[in-house]
Amino acid sequence: MRHAPPGNLWHGATDRLGGTAVYGDPASGPHSETEWSAAFNVDDVHTFLFATGDCENWLVASKDAVIGEYYANTPRQIMESSISEDPYTARWLNRASQLEDPWISLRDGAISVPDGTVLYAENHYPIHRAIAGSPLLLHGGANVFVELWSSPCEAAVQGADGWTLVRHAPPGNHWHSATDRLGGTAVYGDPAGGPHSETEWSAAFNVDDVSTFLFATGDCENWLVASKDAVIGEYYANTPREIMRSSTSSEPYTARWLNRASQLEDPWISLSDGAISVPDGTVLYAENHYPIHRATAGSPLLLHNGGNVFVKL
């Protein structure tokens, strides 16, 4: 996704690996004589691989280790690298005030800067003259690769990307027991059972802190992401609500849902309009132990290993 050519300057990007820096020609590949950077959705990133052009020096680290927070000279987890097949830590920099950050290196920065084993920096930061030689000149430039989750659901199941699992309905013919309209007050069952529990559960959460909901089947085949305002910002009946993305579309679109004040089973959340999703079995959320309609193409909970609700704060 990003390349710095042989030379004495690091990457031109200043997006802190956020995936928004776009320049140059990605078609020129990992050995290009000119720099380039391609856009990527950082929410979908699972792992980063930083490497020199000749692959002599490289390391693999999770997104959370690299850009999960600001840090300064604190140990960050490396999953594996060209110097160790076992996990270890190195002290890196990701300071809010410095445009060249994050600094990613094989070892602690205090060691990697002079020995030439830094693998990433931004803002065209110049290679230090005091090092053992420019890693970009000596090793054919530098590259950044990303490994993506297959979906936000896959990331959420692993507890990544800021998602928290708060509610689960097991395989069966009834939706969630809760009647709190996703207000975070329904508490029952054992959350330790996780996203594949054979019994239902619901954990408390502060709905005021929620920005986004993710509704998904247990096998992550069907899922959608929507803002809190789209889901429970008001009462509505068969009106278009915005879906940010889903298992059927990477682009925003709308679907007609139900959140009626008089109905304890609401809100009804579905991949497409309710009139379509009910019969085709792609409803993703309902409350009050509402029974799965017999007229559907099959119970989404039975066919897809239950249903889960994740929140992002």
Query: Considering the chain, what is the average pLDDT of its residues?
Result: 93
Mean pLDDT along residues 307-312: 96
Tens-digit pLDDT profile for residues 187-241: 999 999 999 999 999 999 999 999 999 999 999 999 999 999 999 999 999 999 9
Expressed in angstroms, the distance from the first to the final Cα of the chain is 28
Tens-digit pLDDT profile for residues 88-108: 999 999 999 999 999 999 999
> Whole-angstrom Cα distance, residue 201 to residue 188?
5
In our burial notation (b when 16+ CB lie closer than 10 A, e otherwise), range 234-257 reads: eebeeeebebbbbbeeeeeeebbb
Structure tokens at 275: 């009139």
> Whole-angstrom Cα distance, residue 275 to residue 269?
12
Question: What share of residues in the chain are helix, strand, coil (percent, to 5)?
Answer: 20, 35, 50
Say if strands 58-62 and 142-148 run parallel, antiparallel, or are unpaired.
unpaired
User: How far, in Å, are 25, 57, 63, 118, 163 from residue 104 at the CA level?
Assistant: 24, 12, 12, 6, 25
User: How far, in Å, are 91, 209, 255, 291 from residue 237 at the CA level?
Assistant: 53, 25, 11, 20
What is the pLDDT at residue 270? 95
The share of the chain scoring above pLDDT 90, in percent, equals 77
Tens-digit pLDDT profile for residues 106-149: 999 899 888 889 999 999 999 865 455 677 888 999 999 998 87
Tens-digit pLDDT profile for residues 142-165: 999 998 877 899 989 988 888 999
* Secondary structure (DSSP) of 55-108: SSSEEEEEHHHHHSS-EEEEEEEESEETTBSS-EEEEEEE-TT-TTPPBEESS-
What is the pLDDT at residue 215? 98
What is the pLDDT at residue 102? 97
Q: Which of 239, 252, 231 is nearest to 309 (CA)?
A: 231
Q: Assign 198 to helix, strand or coil.
A: coil
Burial class (CB in 10 A: 0-12, 13-18, 19+), 198: exposed
Q: Which of 246, 259, 10, 265 is nearest to 121 (CA)?
A: 10
Say whether pLDDT at 68 is over 60: yes
> Whole-angstrom Cα distance, residue 179 to residue 199?
17
What is the pLDDT at residue 129? 54
> Whole-angstrom Cα distance, residue 57 to residue 71?
23
> Whole-angstrom Cα distance, residue 228 to residue 81?
40
The share of the chain scoring above pLDDT 70, in percent, equals 96
Q: What is the pTM assigned to this prediction? A: 0.67
